């Protein structure tokens, strides 16, 4: 199965998870529902500059995804 390209929030959550793991250890970071909820709350309070930065990263990731998987079509 080909993975979907990651959107800006998914990339933000991945970075958030890495920071949680670095600062609090694996025990908390392994609690995905807890960390995802916290990431969503932080994301909603981030300013447009931060969100735009993650959107740029997501756009670049999408371009890489297109090159790696040129025939990819999303099929829910």
What per-residue confidence (pLDDT) applies to 25?
A: 83
**In whole angstroms, how far apart are CA 14 and each of 24, 35, 51, 58?**
15, 10, 14, 12
Q: What is the mean pLDDT of the chain?
A: 94
Q: Which domain holds residue 22?
A: 8-67
Total domains in the chain come to: 1
Residue 49 resides in a domain: yes
Q: What is the largest CA-CA distance in the chain?
A: 41
What pLDDT, in 10s, does the model give residues 4-32? 999 999 999 999 999 998 988 877 767 88
Residue 8: Cβ within 10 Å count = 19
Residue 73 resides in a domain: no
More confident residue, 28 or 66: 66
């Amino acid at each position: 199965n080909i993975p979907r390209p990651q959107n800006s929030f998914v990339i933000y959550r991945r970075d958030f998870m890495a920071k949680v793991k670095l600062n609090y250890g694996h025990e908390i970071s392994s609690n995905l529902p807890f960390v995802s909820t916290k990431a969503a709350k932080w994301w909603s309070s981030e300013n447009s500059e931060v969100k735009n930065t993650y959107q740029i990263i997501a756009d670049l990731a999408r371009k890489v995804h297109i090159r790696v998987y040129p025939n990819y079509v999303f099929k829910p």
